[in-house]
Amino acid sequence: MRGLVATHGDLGRELVRVVEMITGPQHGLTAMTNHGKSASDLTAEIRGWLEDGADPESGTIAPAVLFIDDHGGSCANAAMLATRPGEPVVILSGVNLAMLLAFLSWREDLDPDELVARLVTRGRDAITRLGGVS
């Protein structure tokens, strides 16, 4: 399964870079920014990424996860516009490092529905209070 991290600024690129610092080079995980792009340009770029992963003979889109930084932001809106009903593409907002590491660990072993459920859980579990003023 492939993953695209689409974010504001260079957040996605940095997340992917840090993931690769931890795990080594990875295939099937890339990033893109919304910086300097119109809504239609960003939508077309995400759609192009999806189509680049399609089966060359049938044109069928390969299973993919679109990791987005902010629900309701330009990246989320573009991702929703870039996907078509029935395609095996899931959009997850609130991307974090734990979620991406889990994606790389589990993407080959779990069916897509189980993978997505675990990614959401792992991403939420990574958000926790470690201390501070009470």
pTM of the full predicted structure? 0.94
Ordered alpha helix ranges (H), the chain: 11-23, 39-52, 74-82, 97-106, 112-125
| CATH of region 2-125 | 3.40.50.510
Give me the pLDDT at residue 94, please: 96
pLDDT of residue 59: 87
Distance CA 30, CA 44 (A): 16
pLDDT score, position 97: 97
Can you give the pLDDT of all 134 residues of the chain as single tens digits? Answer: 999 999 999 999 999 999 999 999 999 999 999 999 999 999 999 999 999 999 889 989 999 999 999 998 999 999 999 999 999 999 999 999 999 999 999 999 999 999 999 999 999 999 998 888 87
Domain boundaries, the chain: 2-125
58 contacts 33 by C-beta, under 8 angstroms: no
Residue 74: closest CA among 30, 43, 99 = 43
Q: What is the pLDDT of residue 86?
A: 93
